[in-house]
Structure 1
């Protein structure tokens, strides 16, 4: 299998990233692995989508760190869709909002053409283009979501603040990683205008009811082909706790990760979103749960799968590569008779 990983910028990849774990595992299983940043993508005169990619050297790596060193030191070489079986879209458009706006949708645009040329793209790039901001979340059943408003009118946000009995979260419609996320209570009410101004510089503002259970952090549950990743009775999940004085539980923002315990409520929430995730060709997804509600559905490069593997002492990454191997086998049998959005979640 020849598999390419599209990331924001190869030079910014880290040994601890989930993408590193996926790529390293694919390499150890004997597959040809390529890394390419969004800026490395190209469309050639022979109408092939391609890239100036770094091929992982054909050698053994004992650690994630040495593997990533090997990736970054590899010379770039030209590849095209004709030489690839799979592309994994592991770039986060939100990372490019401020300084590289041209890069936000580039991965999806080029990948849509790669699909036409017979490459399996995960997650499905057409569906991802509709999920580039948090409005995608509003397409899921109302029962699984907190009460929400999305507006660029500060009076709308203030009215919602009254509805929520003076406790809400404000955040950008398009963004990730905990940037510009504020908890607003009566104490901070006088600062709503300033918070609104900071968030709205980049677009729409989301107001969301605050769930008291958030004090215990959140649960990130990993889904593959629409269902929780499960290995020998253990489910891929993390309980993320925010650092003191911060409402954000993102690990790279200082949050701490623990094993957590799966509950029937969490499994019911996962089952509720499964039909749409399958319909949209969302192969690998992270859902963030607080209490009996979903806070977010992460379809762009969900992270933390390596952390979950370490905490549960279970390899949750190999099953992802095994699932991709099956998709490649199906593609060889069915060819163009099976769509990318279908093969993505079987």
Structure 2
């Protein structure tokens, strides 16, 4: 197959842990051709299809210079057998505009995974609202008073912005309410910005589990991201320690309940974040942890994903 990865600039990849790199490596191992571009490269003009100046690449196997660029043509997205959308958050206006261009490419005949309309409909923090039976008590609001009332009710809460990633901008406020006012001012910006507040889950000490779901089926192992020291965040980007482990019966049941529904909407790859038995986020833009799970357990997540991509592209 001829594959296009829409992703962040290649020079910034940390190949020892990057899941997009792991996908590319497995795809090349199978003989597929690889190209890459970033969302600012996408363009459309009347009378022409969606195009992009793409970087045709070969992986070298050398960590110091992991790819070799073999060409830089401008190509229509319909020329590719599959387009893999792997642009990292933030889920901002420019991200949404990029998904609209990808939807236009779909109308022209391209096959895009995850489906652009599904990306728009499932912002990663708000997507959990559809599944209240699987989440901890949660508030989404622009009201500072509503946040104070929620804290008064639950005593120990987590506050987070809706557009962050990697644990960015997450705060914990305990029963004493220390710095609650300042945190509200920082996140809420005098009512201008919507905030998510969730009851604190003490099971975070056992890890914030990343459960990957591919084509509606859970990967047999997850990565528990365990906070270190006094840190409340388990995110690897925030210093958490990643420990791969088999799925618990509860996590498997949750993934099997939600996975087929999301797959039917065009979400080929989903990352559920689960603390205890509660889903805290549904990651759809660029779910990670492929390499950590593979390296620690031997579960070949990249192969599972490329299997699903090949089947979806043929379909």
Structure-1-length-normalised TM-score: 0.85
Following the alignment from structure 2 to structure 1, what is the Cα–Cα distance between the partners of residues 211 and 23? 17
Q: Choose from 54, 57, 76 the match for 1:80.
A: 76
Structure 1 unaligned residues grouped into runs of 5+: 230-234, 331-346
Deviation string, structure 1 residues 88-145 (Cα, Å, up to 9, x no partner): 1101231xx7xxx5532233111101111111111111011122352222012x1101
- 1:203 is matched with 193
- 2:121 is matched with 130
Secondary structure of the structure 2 residue equivalent to 1:3: strand
CA shift for structure 1 position 26: 0.9
- 1:180 is matched with 169
Deviation string, structure 1 residues 286-337 (Cα, Å, up to 9, x no partner): 111111211111111011111110010232211211221122222xxxxxxx
Secondary structure of the structure 1 residue equivalent to 2:54: strand
Q: Choose from 62, 87, 90 the match for 1:91.
A: 87
Following the alignment from structure 1 to structure 2, what is the Cα–Cα distance between the partners of residues 143 and 102? 30
- 2:143 is matched with 153
- 2:2 is matched with 2
Task: Answer yes or no: is 1:295 the counterpart of 2:280.
Answer: yes
- 1:61 is matched with 60
Q: Choose from 185, 202, 207 the match for 1:212.
A: 202
Does the Cα contact within 8 Å between 2:124 and 2:281 map onto a contact in 1?
A: no
Deviation string, structure 1 residues 132-165 (Cα, Å, up to 9, x no partner): 352222012x11011100111111001000111x
Following the alignment from structure 1 to structure 2, what is the Cα–Cα distance between the partners of residues 75 and 37? 16
Number of aligned residue pairs: give it: 312
Structure 2 unaligned residues grouped into runs of 5+: none
- Point out 4+ residue stretches in structure 1 off by more than 4 angstroms: none
Does the Cα contact within 8 Å between 2:167 and 2:237 map onto a contact in 1?
A: no
Aligned pairs for 1:219-298 (under 5 A) are 219-229=209-219, 235-298=220-283
Q: Whose helix fraction is larger, Structure 1's or Structure 2's?
A: 1
Does the Cα contact within 8 Å between 1:174 and 1:203 map onto a contact in 2?
A: no
Task: Answer yes or no: is 1:170 the counterpart of 2:166.
Answer: no
Closer, same or farther: CA 277–138 of 1 in aligned 2, 3 Å:
same
Closer, same or farther: CA 20–111 of 1 in aligned 2, 3 Å:
same
Task: Answer yes or no: is 1:104 the counterpart of 2:95.
Answer: yes
